[in-house]
Chains A and B, each alone.
Chain A
Amino acid sequence: MPLIDMPDFAGALLDEFGRRRTQRVDAPVIQPAAPFLDMAGEDLRRRIFLTESETGESFCLRPEFTIPVCLRHIETATGTPKRYSYLGQVFRQRREGGNEFYQAGIEDLGDRNFASADARVVADALGCLGRILPGRSLTVTIGDQAVFEAVVAALGLPAGWQRRLVRAFGQQDVLDAMIARLARPAPMAGLPDEVEALLEAGNEAGLIAHVEAEMARTGTLTNASRAPEEIVRRLKEKRQVADASLNKAKLDALKEFLSLNVSLRYAPAVLADFARTAGLPLRDAIAGFDARVAAFANAGAPLADITWRAAFGRPLDYYTGLVFEVTERGKHEVLAGGGRFDRMMTLLGAADHIPAVGFALWLDRVEAALAPAGKRTAP
């Protein structure tokens, strides 16, 4: 296979992917842009290379592989479980580094044993990096949205608040603002008298009729955007959200949880301690967390090199559980990043619920990490 332009270690990496029993797949460089913008949000628009076809359809240069690999899986309908690998160029507008660089990675679809699949994906990432950077000391930081969701649920907040907090998971400044707001209720005001009276009386049918009448009067389409029922349902939820607050003990517990940052060896004990002193019912979440730690140990992942940071998450709605990053010890450049994205396959149009974990290697950073040691020979 011609490897011109590819990193020197591409052959070794592909060999490693093969040993790890993955099926290598490719994806066209020119991709429809909509799935990327739909999944990652409009902010991605500034960071990808967009173009338009003559018919006005938006295309982009492949900014990553996960979405094309998942779409391909859905189209080919070959069933699960499946382990895919890829290695190729991706294109992004970056402040640092070039705009075209190589990524490689594994997407592991359909394994319903979450703990062992989580452990395997981290072991895969470490194994692949270890093959290219032998003898380097690598450290892993993991986060877990499922534990955060359990903590938020245990605080007894209304559903609207739980979703808000979970959505902000991984964005510390947004979370801080929400925590500050939760110190006291922020009663809702300024509704028209008629609406206020209907809401106060819990007259849902009356509210819906009011909204419908207003829509008819103003010529608003009831089926193009938010329907009357949807507006009324959220209005009721908003009243609960506005009236909600947390007492000092619970706020402190939430802040303390977000500050936990501990070696995975001690993480189960620390989490259990936290639940006990905070008085929060977290049994199921702790069981799931402990099962994963045990699976990590079984998979031979070095627990001493893995740190659990409770506040570590990614603010995209398809991430559901584990997230992780691998760096060299004492360095900041993320060499590999990954996690569990159980919601993505459904969002992309899969008929069945397909659990998914995966990771991507930043091969330009791996190459840079290789360079200073002068180890340019293929391993």
Chain B
Amino acid sequence: MTITLALPSKGRIKEASAALFDKAGLSIVSVGNDRSYRGRIEGLDGVEVAYLSASEIARELAAGTVDFGITGEDLVREGMSDVETRVDFCARLGFGAADVVVAVPEIWLDVETMADLGDVAADFRARHGRRLAIATKYWRLTQQFFSQRHGIQLYRIVESLGATEGAPAAGQADIIVDITSTGATLRANHLKVLADGVILKSEACLVRARKPAHDGDARVAEIVSRVGAAL
């Protein structure tokens, strides 16, 4: 069996992943030319490297078509149900840090906590003839946090595929659930994060798709232990 390792194909997370694997003594060599989307690990036979986008890596992990992937925890948790039974978060890598947060307009002086938001959501339909609208690309994380964690049922998700922080100002939604690293973009758009509104503290992770074939495979154990030791 070939072990497939999916790495991000662009950006800082790509550089950081390559540096980490170098440090772990698992140098990645491109197959063909430098811009190839395939690679292998020097000195470790039967392992191939595939370069994919971060969201594709999460999807392939969910489908079990790759064995390992480096991608954001947010994308993995958003991309599948029963995440703990389907993948193993082998290591948190210390880069790509960002929080998935609930943010509301700064001018909502009366809303600081999820309990406040629950009050507002419950009243919303009677006042506005529609449910409170949340712009996000994180359907699953939002539902889990609002419905299961905080008992807030009455809201509608408006899918947002980019520039989510602009949705309230544009009148597309009332609040947002989005990713933020420094909070600067939120502040620039006059949004504030609720005191208990951090849904997930995400960062890049080495993630393994749980497969029976991995048990007792020395290459699997070696990749996990070497990356762990390099952190």
A residues touching B (Cβ–Cβ < 8 Å)?
Answer: 37-38, 40-43, 45-46, 160, 163-164, 167-168, 171, 174, 190-192, 195, 211, 214-215, 218-221, 224-226, 230-231, 234-235, 237-238, 241, 315-317, 347
Residues of B within 8 A of A168 (CB): 151
Give B111-164 interface residues, CB cut-off 8 Å to A. Answer: 112, 115-116, 118-120, 122-123, 125, 127-128, 131, 139-140, 142-143, 146-148, 151, 153-157
B105 within 8 A of A: yes
- A215 & B151 in contact (Cβ 8 Å cutoff): no
Residues of A within 8 A of B107 (CB): 211, 214-215, 218, 220, 231
Complexed CA–CA distance, A6 and B92 (Å): 53
Complexed CA–CA distance, A177 and B116 (Å): 14
> What total of chain B residues lie within 8 Å of the partner, measured CB to CB?
37
Complexed CA–CA distance, A164 and B117 (Å): 11
Q: Using A168-B151, A219-B169, A220-B169 as known contacts, say yes or no to A42 and B109 having CB atoms under 8 A apart.
A: no
Residues of A within 8 A of B118 (CB): 164, 167
Residues of B within 8 A of A218 (CB): 106-107, 190
Residues of B within 8 A of A316 (CB): 153
Residues of B within 8 A of A174 (CB): 151
B45 within 8 A of A: no
Main secondary structure of the interface of B (DSSP, over half): mixed
- A38 & B131 in contact (Cβ 8 Å cutoff): yes
Complexed CA–CA distance, A317 and B110 (Å): 22
Complexed CA–CA distance, A163 and B153 (Å): 15
| Shortest distance between the CB of A232 and any CB in chain B (Å) | 8
- A235 & B153 in contact (Cβ 8 Å cutoff): no
B174 within 8 A of A: yes
| Shortest distance between the CB of B9 and any CB in chain A (Å) | 29
- B122 & A226 in contact (Cβ 8 Å cutoff): no
- B105 & A41 in contact (Cβ 8 Å cutoff): no
| Shortest distance between the CB of B34 and any CB in chain A (Å) | 41
- B156 & A37 in contact (Cβ 8 Å cutoff): yes
Complexed CA–CA distance, A167 and B105 (Å): 24
Complexed CA–CA distance, A224 and B110 (Å): 18
Residues of A within 8 A of B153 (CB): 40-43, 315-316
Q: Using A41-B155, A43-B153, A168-B151 as known contacts, say yes or no to A221 and B169 having CB atoms under 8 A apart.
A: yes
Q: Which residue of A lies closest to B133 (CB)?
A: A225
Residues of B within 8 A of A226 (CB): 105, 108, 120, 174
Residues of A within 8 A of B108 (CB): 226, 231
- B109 & A191 in contact (Cβ 8 Å cutoff): yes
- B116 & A42 in contact (Cβ 8 Å cutoff): no
B69 within 8 A of A: no
Complexed CA–CA distance, A237 and B156 (Å): 25
Interface pairs (26), CB distance under 8 Å? A37-B156, A41-B154, A42-B146, A42-B155, A43-B143, A43-B147, A45-B157, A160-B119, A163-B122, A164-B115, A164-B118, A164-B119, A167-B118, A167-B122, A174-B151, A192-B109, A220-B107, A220-B169, A221-B169, A221-B171, A225-B168, A226-B108, A231-B107, A231-B109, A235-B110, A238-B116
Complexed CA–CA distance, A221 and B174 (Å): 11
Q: Which residue of B lies closest to A212 (CB)?
A: B107
Q: Which residue of A lies closest to B127 (CB)?
A: A230
Looking at the complex, which one of B105, B109, B146 makes contact with A225 (CB distance below 8 Å)? B105
| Shortest distance between the CB of B187 and any CB in chain A (Å) | 11
- A190 & B112 in contact (Cβ 8 Å cutoff): yes
Complexed CA–CA distance, A41 and B142 (Å): 12
Residues of A within 8 A of B106 (CB): 214, 218
Candidate in B125, B140, B147 with the most chain A CB atoms within 10 angstroms:
B147
- A42 & B190 in contact (Cβ 8 Å cutoff): no
- A42 & B143 in contact (Cβ 8 Å cutoff): yes
Complexed CA–CA distance, A211 and B120 (Å): 17
- B120 & A234 in contact (Cβ 8 Å cutoff): yes
Q: Which residue of B lies closest to A195 (CB)?
A: B109
| Shortest distance between the CB of A216 and any CB in chain B (Å) | 10
Complexed CA–CA distance, A219 and B106 (Å): 12
Residues of A within 8 A of B115 (CB): 164
Q: Which residue of A lies closest to B154 (CB)?
A: A41
| Shortest distance between the CB of B185 and any CB in chain A (Å) | 15
Complexed CA–CA distance, A251 and B154 (Å): 28
Q: Using A40-B153, A42-B157, A347-B125 as known contacts, say yes or no to A225 and B171 having CB atoms under 8 A apart.
A: yes
Residues of A within 8 A of B142 (CB): 42
Candidate in A41, A215, A235, A317 with the most chain B CB atoms within 10 angstroms:
A41
Complexed CA–CA distance, A43 and B171 (Å): 24
Q: Given A42-B143, A46-B140, A218-B106, 13 other A-B contacts at CB below 8 A?
A: A41-B154, A43-B148, A45-B143, A219-B169, A220-B169, A221-B171, A224-B171, A225-B174, A231-B110, A234-B123, A238-B116, A315-B153, A317-B154
Nearest first, the 5 closest Cβ-Cβ pairs linking A and B are A41-B153, A224-B171, A43-B147, A235-B110, A174-B151
Complexed CA–CA distance, A163 and B120 (Å): 11
Complexed CA–CA distance, A318 and B184 (Å): 40
- B139 & A45 in contact (Cβ 8 Å cutoff): yes
Residues of A within 8 A of B155 (CB): 41-42
Complexed CA–CA distance, A299 and B82 (Å): 47
Q: Which residue of A lies closest to B189 (CB)?
A: A218
Residues of B within 8 A of A238 (CB): 110, 116, 119
Complexed CA–CA distance, A219 and B168 (Å): 11
| Shortest distance between the CB of A188 and any CB in chain B (Å) | 8
Q: Which residue of B lies closest to A164 (CB)?
A: B119
